[in-house]
Amino acid sequence: MAEAQTEIKETPKPSEFEPKIIGFLCNWCSYAGADLCGVSRYQYPTNVRSIRVMCSTRISPHIVLDIFKAGADGVLLGGCHLNDCHYISGNFYTEKRVRLMKKLLEDAGFDPDRLRLEWVSASEGEKFSKVVTEFTEQVRKLGPSKVKKDPMVMAKVAAADGASETFRLRALSGRQLGLEKTGNVYGQKVEKEELERVIDQATQEEYERSLIIELSREKPRSVKDLGKIMDVPTDRVLRHIVALRQRNMITMEHPEGLTPTYKTIEIGGEQ
Amino acid sequence: METTAKADAKDKPRIGVFVCHCGSNIGGFVDVPSVAKYAATLPDVVYATDNLYTCAEDGLNSIREGIRKHNLNRVVVASCTPRTHAPLFQATCESAGLNKYLFTFVNIREHCSWVHMKEKEKATKKARDLIRMGVARSRLLQAQVEEKVDVEPSAVIIGGGVSGMTAAASLADMGFPVHLVERESELGGFVKNLNNLYVTEKSAADTIKPLIEKVKSHKNVKLHMNSTLKSVEGFIGNYDIVIGGKGVEDLKTKVGTIVVATGALEFMPEGLYGYTQYPNVVTLTEFEILCKKKTLPKLKNVAFIQCVGSRGQNKSYCSRICCNVAIKNAINIVDNYENMLGLMEKAGTVIDKVPVERTAPEEILERRRRRRGRDRGEEGSADEVKLGPSEKIEVTIFNRDVMAYGIEHELTYNKAREKRVKFVRYTPEHLPRVYMEGSQLMVGYFHETLKLERTMPVDMVVLSTPLVSQPDAHDVAQMLKVPLGQEGFFLEAHVKLRPVDFATDGIYVCGTCRGPADITECVTQASAAASRAAIPMAKGYVQAEALTSVVDDTKCSGCGTCIQVCPYGALRKNDKGQAEVIVAACKGCGCCGATCPEGAITMTNYTDAQLLAEARAGLQEEV
């Protein structure tokens, strides 16, 4: 027991940054692959903390972005190989969602390489160790996440999270696969690239709107002010403000002189 | 279930944590007592201890006692993998009156001690983190009630080979109606091709005849020849299937369980060892067919080459049966040179008998004298060499290793050596070569002992190629929603503990479609699969795991996106126009939950709050 206490006090070497990585592994393939990796005694760094889910498709963008908000240096998603999903098509949806997550992270200026999606089958024990080793080193090189230290980074990641929760992006990313494969209600198939372009544009819009919400939480902001912080032309900011006012998400407050400012309407509290 | 007493989730959580040493498997690489001590300091943990083996009776008792003594309403076990041990611990919780959904599994063996064997401090820290995550999840768990689903007491078996017929006969004998689906016009599968079977030396046709007759005449077996399974919908106990084929009318019926016994094919070694280039280069199966049809040419020198296309060449695995099959055939050739089984009879004509007493050429006798004399350390005598007909024949098995595992196979191997079948080893770096010298088929090889290139004239080269998966196994896999392994064979739920189950309930697998196996092994697996399938059918019902999606009707706007993404058709619109879950059909993947634009769908015990609490606990610094 005395031994144990000294161990808890062990100080990490300051020179080596130990990234905190959360892994979500699907029960049928990648979690089983990680099990086989253990059985086969392939060694890998201790940084990943894995959570078992039934399918990678369970992981919504909100879950990943919220974890980045909470300070994770990296997130690893593991699923079955395409066409091998235990739930038939789950990982195809995962693939689409990860694309959305990466686009949101990119828009937020947060390195999308901190998020990794890997297909690891139940028989690929060695691959699992390689993936974890590689990803850990990759995240180590990227350095610690700045969300906890830099309020602007936090606001941007929070905006990405907020955007991922909008009806528009959830509906688009949910229907993306169906639109590509079986078409819309009129049976018209939509080209993958065309659809991605539409989604990317919607993503950018929702992200910018969400960032306005984040930035105007603490204090009212003017359009000019927002445009400067966000590095977005003021006419676009104004259009976003109009949309947000229509959704009743933002309100005009304390006009100073001729410049109106806007403040986020808080609904309820954090759960 | 009498598990509601302590299952009230509104009670303040009282969590017990049991940390397993797993002998030295965890204890040797993680400081388990300190981890247990740390666990006791976590919020809502009222009891924490360590066990040498939590899964042993001692450990299970400590869980039961813990629940009783400390009035636990949540249990966390930190040991091995939930994929094998969750049912055991869940049952233990239930036996102590705790709803099994209030149990949390933390994996500190496969995911920690075994993969961080050289970093005890870091592994111990990770174990503490993982347990903190498990406790965070545990605090938010809710008791769940499982729904009972009736099981239709009938089965469909895909494949009418030895495995499929055995499974069908077993289930039919137990009294369950069975549909046996075979796409060919004849029963018997791969074994149909074979001449005689090893160990018994009996003909293959005679061996499986009683089985064929049994399934043909059994009142509980409905045969569907020239047919395949065209579609499958549903879930354990309630599969709606369609059986049909060319010229066969579609049959729609309902079954409770499915056994997959689709078998395997032999690998065709195109481009290897002169296969298809020279007429007398055949595969092991082709050789069997020639033997069976009695159309073998007169053979004097035969070379078998083992591991053709397997063990890293085209396929990664060892096909397991070819050594024994080659040995069997080698013995056949030696024994049957005299036409004992009429092996080399050609359409009724008997070849000339070879005289029993016959003298070998002087140079061979001289060579053998020297060879034997060297063994004994003295000059050998030529007189003891009595040449029977078998001496006429040279059978050589070029092998990488002879895998004559078990009792009988090793004896057969010895028997082959006694009959002077030559076993010549080769390595992957020096593969034998098959070529023609004029009109003579030749084998060139590197003699590993002599370290010399040698050549040998042969009449026939037999290539032992591996069994490979059916090319359309993928279609069956997709239809049944079951996985294939890397080599295209069906992948069982657990390689050691659940060898004939699929991860999907109600579907079982046996025979060569799950990997190379001989008849004995196929029959064993088929009997096992039949008895596994019989469990839910005999019981009459299954309890559906309470791991499904749940729709919050205060949030659902009826957009229908969830219905589009569900791969199981487990969501439908109710009369209020809102989404509704068909619990028995839902498999709990969570796709609808991650998709729902209103965030109205969540999964029982995989809620966002639970997943996020678990993840956040993993990011926390230790206090």
- Burial code of A36-48, b = ≥16 C-beta within 10 A, e = fewer? bbbbeebbbbbbb
**What three-state secondary structure class fits B151?**
coil
Residue A256 has pLDDT above 80, yes or no: no
**What three-state secondary structure class fits B17?**
strand
H-type helices in B484-560, by residue range? Answer: 519-539
Structural domains present in chain B: 1-146 (3.40.50), 155-263+470-542 (3.50.50.60), 269-467 (3.50.50.60), 548-603 (3.30.70.20)
Q: What is the pLDDT of residue B248?
A: 86
What tens digit of pLDDT does each residue of A140-160 get? 999 999 999 999 999 999 999
Kindly identify which residue of chain A lies nearest to residue B599, measuring between CA atoms.
A165
Q: What are the structure tokens assigned to A269, written together?
A: 């509290």
- Residue A218 confidence class, pLDDT cut points 50, 70, 90: confident
What DSSP line would sit under B70-116, residue for residue?
TT-SEEEEEES-HHHHHHHHHHHHHHTT--GGGEEEEE-IIIIITT-
> Does B590 contact A20 at a Cβ distance shorter than 8 Å?
no
Q: What is the pLDDT of residue B623?
A: 56
Q: What are the structure tokens assigned to B315, written together?
A: 């396929």
> Does A54 contact B547 at a Cβ distance shorter than 8 Å?
yes
What DSSP line would sit under B448-483, residue for residue?
TTTTEEEEEEESEEEE-PPEEE-TTHHHHHHHHT--
Q: Which A residues in the span 40-69 are in contact with B, Cβ-Cβ below 8 Å?
A: 41-44, 46, 49-55, 57-60, 62-63, 66-67
> Does B83 contact A72 at a Cβ distance shorter than 8 Å?
no
Q: What are the structure tokens assigned to B75, written together?
A: 């249990």
Q: Which A residues in the span 113-172 are in contact with B, Cβ-Cβ below 8 Å?
A: 121-124, 129, 165, 167-168, 170-171
**Across all residues in chain A, what is the average pLDDT?**
90
Q: What is the pLDDT of residue B572?
A: 87
Write down the ipTM of this complex. 0.91
Rounded to a whole number, what is the largest CA-CA distance in chain A? 71
Q: What is the pLDDT of residue B316?
A: 93
- Residue to substitute from A1, A8, A65, interface B, most B β-carbons within 10 A: A8
> Does A86 contact B603 at a Cβ distance shorter than 8 Å?
no
Start and end residues for every CATH 3.40.50 domain found in chain A: 19-142
Q: What is the pLDDT of residue A110?
A: 97
Q: What is the pLDDT of residue B356?
A: 32
Kindly identify which residue of chain A lies nearest to residue B488, measuring between CA atoms.
A84
Q: Which B residues in the span 582-621 are in contact with A, Cβ-Cβ below 8 Å?
A: 587-591, 593-599, 603, 606, 608-609, 611-612, 614-616, 618-619
End-to-end CA distance of chain B: 39
> Does A93 contact B565 at a Cβ distance shorter than 8 Å?
yes
**What three-state secondary structure class fits B401?**
coil
Q: What is the pLDDT of residue B355?
A: 32
- Residue to substitute from A93, A96, A127, A182, interface B, most B β-carbons within 10 A: A93
B500 CB-near residues (< 8 Å, 6+ apart): B492, B508, B509, B510, B514, B525, B528, B529, B532
Residue of B498, B170, B227 whose CA lies nearest to A32: B498
- Segments of chain B scoring below 70 in pLDDT: 1-10, 295, 297-298, 337-392, 623
Q: What is the pLDDT of residue B364?
A: 45
Residue of B519, B469, B483, B509 whose CA lies nearest to B314: B469
- Residue to substitute from B469, B491, B595, B596, interface A, most A β-carbons within 10 A: B595
What tens digit of pLDDT does each residue of A70-109 get? 999 999 999 999 988 888 789 999 999 999 999 999 999 9
Residue of B299, B308, B307 whose CA lies nearest to B280: B299
Q: What is the pLDDT of residue B459?
A: 85
Residues of B in Cβ contact (< 8 Å) with A57: 589-591, 594
* Phi, psi dihedral angles at A23 (to 5 degrees): -115, 140
Q: Does domain A151-264 have CATH number 3.40.1170.60?
A: no
Q: Confirm if A218 and A229 have CB atoms less than 8 A apart.
A: no
- Residue to substitute from A6, A9, A60, interface B, most B β-carbons within 10 A: A60
Q: What is the pLDDT of residue A15?
A: 62
Calpha distance B304→B396 (Å, rounded): 6
Q: Does domain A19-142 have CATH number 3.30.460?
A: no
Q: Confirm if B601 and B592 have CB atoms less than 8 A apart.
A: yes
Q: Which B residues in the span 288-347 are in contact with A, Cβ-Cβ below 8 Å?
A: none
A249 CB-near residues (< 8 Å, 6+ apart): A213, A264, A265
Start and end residues for every CATH 1.10.10.10 domain found in chain A: 151-264
Residue with tokens 């004896």: B411
- For residue B436, which amino acid is it? M
Residue A37 has pLDDT above 80, yes or no: yes
Calpha distance A115→A76 (Å, rounded): 6
Residue A268 has pLDDT above 70, yes or no: no
Residue A204: count other Cβ atoms within 10 Å of its Cβ.
17
User: If you average pLDDT over residues A245-269, what whole number do you get?
Assistant: 82
Q: What is the pLDDT of residue B376?
A: 55
What tens digit of pLDDT does each residue of B261-316 get? 999 998 989 889 998 888 788 889 888 888 887 767 667 789 999 999 999 989 99
